[in-house]
Amino acid sequence: MAAEAYEFKSEAQQLLDLMIHSIYSNKEIFLRELVSNASDALDKLRFERLTDESLRTDAALKIRVWADAEARTLTVEDNGIGMSRDEVIQNLGTIAHSGTKQFASKLKAAQDSDNAERLIGQFGVGFYSSFMVADEVTVVTRKAGEEGATRWHSAGGGTFDIDTAEREGHGTTVTLHLRPVDEENGLVDFTAEWSLRGIIKKYNDFVTYPVELRTERTELERDDEGKPIEGAEPNTVVEWTVVNSQKAIWTRDPKDVSEEEYAEFYKHIAHDWEAPFETIALKAEGLFEYRALLFIPQRAPFDLFYRDQKYGLQLYVNKVLIEERNEDLVPDWLRFVKGVVDSPDLSLNVSREMLQQDRRVKAIRKKVVRKVLDTLETLLKDDREKYLKFWGQFGRVLKEGATDRDFQAKVEPLLFFQSSTQDELTTLGEYVERMKPGQDAIFYITGESLDAVKSSPHLEAFAAKGYEVLYLTDPIDEIMVGHVTEFGDFPLKSVGKGEVELGTDEEKKAAEEAREQKQAEHKDLLEKLGNLLADHVKEVRLSSRLTTSAVCLVGGEHDLSPGLEKMLRQANQATPDTKRILELNGDHPLMGKLKALYAADGDDPKLGDYAKLLYGQALIAEGAAPPEPAEFARLVAGLMV
């Protein structure tokens, strides 16, 4: 039996319900869609006028919005291309049929892609968002160049009515019969002037055509002296006010925009009272087009390090706002950057509220990040003092970028650190320039505060040899050094981990031979102390990094630092039970006392007490508490007696 073909069937009412209740997350979006449709109609008329002189008039193209609070209606009107009766049936009678998309295809066929990309509509569903807020929708439209008008009406029940109508001039009037106010379900009073003004400013502020909002105010009749006339009836004054600014500042040549204009725009989108610290304009052309206007604020916001902080750039498609904060266009370590990205080529979902996964988004993100980093690099090179002001506000966040593999190489030269030999902050590149002959690593120390690392016994040998050590005291530093393992040809090495070998090859060899000799001399004592502290350390050995202090704790080359372990525990993450190495200063007088005590009686209980004191002393030196503070205090008191 031959296979038979059938068409899919759909229930119009169910499809419309899906459109109304599932596609859009925010009910105020309906006005954005209606104004965008009106803008498309005006664009189409402008295009048709290029080839049809009969459509040319002196009438200004515009969009008007007005509400009637008593009748609970809202109207959006344009004097654009309008629709014929057949176009009304085709465009408004078929859900997801897009006249704009069809028109754009015609434009592309005419090799006029610039005009095609200006059109906003893509899916032909935006009009039906009206039913989220309205019980009934009426459309009266007249095609440019035709005499008659058409009326379309629907109550959203899966059917619609078509009739002839009267309309003065071409264009389209959409009237919504609004549902009752229900703020819990997102239905605010869409007849209120403040509500309409706010929505238009938010989503359609940069539409090319003026969007006029009708406002009413009551005035009392006054005499020649300006005093109200007693008994006179108040007059209602109706005015049309242009709500949108129309000019998207990011589409203009930066040479034609003043700093004051950029500052005002920044204050508008960032809700800041200060001018921006830096302004960055970006334009890309090629396989796809986009523009970006980015700003670095003067000061870090109070919520810069809040876990739930919302960040991202404003996303526009053809100058219509799609997302207030798009996190895909900028990484979280540049969350302080404000601005807008506008592109006609991005793939949106059907509601135009979110981006589809698109390689273009990744390309824009990469370009935005590189542009910001290039700007910072130039600023550091040309105006170090100004860059340091930026660093004081956002340096800790920029360090997070050093953990981003895609941009690590560009971020690293922009990082600043405090140092054991410099009064001013220094970069990794400047550190390398000051390295001693034969030095084969960049040395650093991590800790909770500057005072703690400056007084650390781990620095003693480095200070004695004149080696510079970077102070890393920001919490992010503990994570950063796990990713930034080298800079240029030099590895980064913690002074609190592994063995220390300083000086020339001859000096290193001599120091190692001397340490091995002393290690052999104290072998039994060190093993005894290691056994006594077996619960806390994995080894006790003589140190090559101590010159004046008696003791310190060091980690293995690949062990987690104490600071990172603490951070992981605070984040409720599992951490390995890592034991560190206790190092003793072989030249300290204490070693002679311990050796004599051990020689007299290898099982003397005092050895256990002294081992605990040494371990506690090492912990205190790095800012930590002994494992049993009360016992440690008792042992210190006993030693004093």
DSSP 227: P
Residue 544's DSSP bridge partners are none
588 found inside a domain:
yes
Q: Are residues 61 and 120 in the same domain?
A: yes
CA distance 568 to 586: 35
- Is pLDDT at 113 greater than 50 in this prediction? no
CA distance 99 to 299: 47
From the number of C-beta atoms within 10 Å of its C-beta (0-12, 13-18, 19+), residue 163 rates as exposed
421 found inside a domain:
yes
Q: Assign residue 436 the CATH number of its domain.
A: 3.40.50.11260
Q: Are residues 238 and 253 in the same domain?
A: no
CA distance 116 to 287: 15
Which residue segment(s) compose the domain that 274 sits in? 249-387
CA distance 346 to 120: 12
7 found inside a domain:
no
Reported as type and span, the H/E element at residue 563 is: helix 562-570
Q: Are residues 261 and 144 in the same domain?
A: no
CB atoms within 10 A of CB 460: 19
- Position 496 scores a pLDDT of 87
Domain count, the chain: 4
Q: Are residues 199 and 273 in the same domain?
A: no
Band of pLDDT at residue 214, cut at 50, 70 and 90: very high
- Position 172 scores a pLDDT of 95
- Position 4 scores a pLDDT of 59
- The answer to whether the beta carbons of residues 593 and 574 sit under 8 Å apart is no
Q: Are residues 286 and 171 in the same domain?
A: no
CA dihedral sign, ordered 188, 191, 193, 197: positive
Which pTM does this prediction carry?
0.77
Single residue among 364, 387, 410 that ends a domain in this structure: 387
- Is pLDDT at 83 greater than 60 in this prediction? yes
591-620 mean pLDDT: 88
Q: pLDDT tens digit string along 306-324?
A: 877 888 999 988 888 888 8
Q: pLDDT tens digit string along 511-524?
A: 777 777 888 888 88
The better pLDDT of the pair 17, 65 is held by 65
Between the two ends of the chain, the Cα-to-Cα distance in Å is: 107
Q: Are residues 518 and 594 in the same domain?
A: yes
Q: pLDDT tens digit string along 424-473?
A: 999 999 999 999 988 889 999 998 889 888 989 999 989 988 899 999 99
Which two structure tokens, joined as six digits, stand for 55?
């459509």
- Position 371 scores a pLDDT of 96
- Position 626 scores a pLDDT of 87
Band of pLDDT at residue 96, cut at 50, 70 and 90: very low
Spell out the alpha helix ranges (H) of 238-383.
Answer: 259-270, 359-382
Which two structure tokens, joined as six digits, stand for 455?
């007084």
Single residue among 475, 494, 513 that ends a domain in this structure: 494
Give CA separation, 453 vs 444, 474, 528, 566, 621, in Å: 10, 12, 30, 17, 10
Band of pLDDT at residue 16, cut at 50, 70 and 90: low
Q: Are residues 272 and 304 in the same domain?
A: yes
CA distance 536 to 529: 11
- Is pLDDT at 38 greater than 90 in this prediction? yes
- Position 340 scores a pLDDT of 94
Highest mean pLDDT among 4-18, 88-102, 602-616: 602-616
CA distance 472 to 478: 8
Q: Assign residue 620 the CATH number of its domain.
A: 1.20.120.790
Q: Are residues 265 and 409 in the same domain?
A: no
Band of pLDDT at residue 354, cut at 50, 70 and 90: very low
Q: pLDDT tens digit string along 65-81?
A: 999 999 999 999 999 99
Q: pLDDT tens digit string along 357-394?
A: 567 888 899 999 999 999 999 999 999 999 999 999 99
Single residue among 494, 524, 548 that ends a domain in this structure: 494
- Is pLDDT at 120 greater than 50 in this prediction? no
By three-state DSSP, how is residue 286 classified?
Answer: coil
Q: Are residues 47 and 64 in the same domain?
A: yes
256-282 mean pLDDT: 92
Reported as type and span, the H/E element at residue 241 is: strand 235-242
- Is pLDDT at 549 greater than 60 in this prediction? yes
166 found inside a domain:
yes
Mean pLDDT check: name the lowest of 4-13, 128-137, 233-242, 265-274. Answer: 4-13
Q: Are residues 442 and 522 in the same domain?
A: no
181-210 mean pLDDT: 90
Sort strands 313-317 and 320-326 into parallel, antiparallel or unpaired.
antiparallel
Band of pLDDT at residue 124, cut at 50, 70 and 90: very low
Band of pLDDT at residue 14, cut at 50, 70 and 90: low
Q: pLDDT tens digit string along 575-594?
A: 777 888 999 988 898 888 88
CA distance 427 to 470: 10
394 found inside a domain:
no
227 found inside a domain:
no
- Position 570 scores a pLDDT of 66
- The answer to whether the beta carbons of residues 329 and 368 sit under 8 Å apart is yes
- Position 115 scores a pLDDT of 41
Nearest Cα residue to 576 out of 565, 567, 584? 565
Q: What is the mean pLDDT of the chain?
A: 84
- Is pLDDT at 202 greater than 60 in this prediction? yes
- Position 112 scores a pLDDT of 45
Give CA separation, 226 vs 223, 229, 230, 234, 238, in Å: 5, 9, 12, 14, 21
Q: Are residues 168 and 65 in the same domain?
A: yes
User: Left if phi > 0, otherwise alpha if psi is -120 to 50, otherwise beta: which for 95?
Assistant: beta
Q: Are residues 305 and 328 in the same domain?
A: yes
Mean pLDDT check: name the lowest of 47-56, 226-235, 611-620. Answer: 226-235
- Position 492 scores a pLDDT of 93
The better pLDDT of the pair 174, 568 is held by 174
Residue 320's DSSP bridge partners are 317
Strands of the 418-419 sheet, one edge to the other: 418-419, 469-472, 442-446, 490-494, 486-487
- Is pLDDT at 606 greater than 70 in this prediction? yes
487 found inside a domain:
yes
Give CA separation, 175 vs 77, 185, 487, in Å: 8, 22, 65
5 found inside a domain:
no
